[in-house]
Structure 1
């Protein structure tokens, strides 16, 4: 199984975290299942940008983004060429290093 390394984030994961995820698993669900409270205000329906992540390593192994995801990413805070919405990423066979952006465009944190 691929290893997912979440880089330290000031409030969501101060120490960072490393865990295994099944190939084909949704990245957002895998992050949540490992105790990291990543925002997902639209309930993972590709309708917001609160689950925006930056894939620091392993980006090219992932499924390609579609037009809907690309359009939403244009509104994400801290957009980079390796930005993805975690709700749209399927874990491939390669390990990933993931950065959680410091901010989202969400004004109020959802209670999930």
Structure 2
């Protein structure tokens, strides 16, 4: 199983954490399954940017970005070339390192 190393984030995982998930799982699902409560206001339907992550290592191992995700990413705060929506970034067999941006464009936090 690939390992996802999540860099420290003051709210979601202050110390950073490493989790594992089966290949074929989205980064967002893996985080939620491991009690990292990243925002996902659209319930992982690729209709918002609240689960935006920056893939610092292993970007090329993920599935390709489709046009719908690219359109949504244009609205994300802190967009970088290695940005992905966590709900759309599907793990392969390679480990990845991700950073959760400091801010999101969500105006009202969801409690899931």
Pick the TM interval, shorter chain.
Answer: over 0.9
Is 1:19–2:27 an aligned residue pair?
no
Counterparts of 2:19 and 2:37, CA distance in 1: 15
Structure 1 segments of 4+ aligned residues over 4 angstroms from their partners: none
RMSD of aligned residue pairs (Cα, Å): 0.6
Secondary structure of the structure 2 residue equivalent to 1:87: coil
**Any stretches of 5+ residues in structure 1 without a counterpart?**
none
TM-superposed CA distance for 1:100, in Å, is 0.2
TM-superposed CA distance for 1:27, in Å, is 1.3
User: TM-score w.r.t. structure 2 length?
Assistant: 0.98
Taking the TM superposition and a 5 Å limit, the aligned residue runs for 1:1-112 are 1-112=1-112
Secondary structure of the structure 1 residue equivalent to 2:87: helix
TM-superposed CA distance for 1:15, in Å, is 0.8
Counterparts of 1:44 and 1:21, CA distance in 2: 17
Counterparts of 2:3 and 2:12, CA distance in 1: 19
TM-superposed CA distance for 1:7, in Å, is 0.4
User: TM-score w.r.t. structure 1 length?
Assistant: 0.98
**Any stretches of 5+ residues in structure 2 without a counterpart?**
none
State the Cα deviation string for residues 36-69 of structure 1 (Å, max 9, x = none).
1100000000000000000000001110010000
